[in-house]
C-alpha cells in the first residue's frame, strides 16, 4: 500500500518542526527548521523575526518548500511529507491563526500567543504557508521516488 493523505496527516500531527526552504531574490537557497502549528495539511503557521534570513527571503520570493519528517526514525524506515507552498507574513486573519498556534504551543509546553506578541515593537511576526501540493516517498525500492498524496 502506498502513501496516503492519512499517512501525511499523521506525520504532520506527530511533528513539532518543519523544515522551511526559501530563496533570496537571486535564488540563493536557505533552509531552516521552525516550530509550527497547522490546520489540516494545508495551512502552516510559525512565528519568526522579520529580520532573519528566511523571513527576508519570503518577503521577496514567497514560493517555498516544506518538509515535515521524524528525524528519529531508523535508517531506511523514515517517511516525510514534501510540500510546495506560498508563504507570507500574516496580517489579515492573524487572530484565527494565533488561536491555532497557541493551542498547539500549549500542548507542547509553550505559551499562549497574542497579537501584541507579533506586532509593533515585539520583534516577532506571524507567518503562514499555504501548501499547494503534497508528496511522499513511494515505497517501491526506487530512491527518492515521490508520489502525490
Q: Domain of 86: which CATH number? A: 2.30.110.10
Total domains in the fold of the chain: 1
Q: Is 0.85 topped by the overall pTM?
A: yes
Domain that holds residue 101: 5-137
pLDDT single digits (tens) 12-28: 999 999 999 999 999 99
Whether the per-residue pLDDT at 50 is higher than 90: the answer is yes
Cell of 89: 507574513
Residue 118 lies in a domain: yes
Residue 131 lies in a domain: yes
Distance CA 144, CA 112 (A): 39
Beta strand residue intervals within the chain, DSSP E: 17-23, 29-35, 37-39, 43-48, 63-69, 80-89, 125-137, 146-148
pLDDT of amino acid 2:
60
Residues of the chain with pLDDT > 90, as a percent, come to 77
Cβ neighbourhood burial of 121 (10 Å; 0-12, 13-18, 19+): exposed
Residue 49 lies in a domain: yes
Residue 144 lies in a domain: no
Cα–Cα nearest to 98, from 124, 123, 121: 124
Residue 87 lies in a domain: yes
pLDDT single digits (tens) 75-129: 877 889 999 999 999 999 899 999 999 999 999 999 999 999 999 999 999 999 9
Residue 69 lies in a domain: yes
Residue 78 lies in a domain: yes
Amino acid at each position: 500500500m502506498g502513501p496516503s493523505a492519512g499517512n501525511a496527516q499523521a506525520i504532520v500531527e506527530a511533528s513539532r518542526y518543519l523544515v522551511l526552504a526559501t530563496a533570496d531574490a537571486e535564488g540563493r537557497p536557505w533552509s531552516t527548521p521552525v516550530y509550527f502549528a497547522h490546520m489540516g495539511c494545508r495551512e502552516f503557521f510559525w512565528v519568526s523575526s522579520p529580520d532573519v534570513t528566511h523571513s527576508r527571503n519570503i518577503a521577496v520570493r514567497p514560493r517555498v518548500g516544506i518538509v515535515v519528517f521524524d528525524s528519529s526514525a531508523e535508517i531506511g524506515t523514515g517517511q516525510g511529507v514534501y510540500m510546495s507552498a506560498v508563504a507570507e507574513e500574516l496580517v489579515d486573519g492573524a487572530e484565527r491563526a494565533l488561536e491555532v498556534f497557541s493551542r498547539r504551543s500549549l500542548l507542547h509546553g509553550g505559551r499562549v500567543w497574542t497579537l501584541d506578541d507579533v506586532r509593533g515593537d515585539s520583534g516577532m511576526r506571524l507567518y503562514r504557508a499555504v501548501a499547494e501540493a503534497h508528496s511522499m516517498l513511494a515505497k517501491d525500492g526506487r530512491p527518492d521516488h515521490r508520489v502525490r498524496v
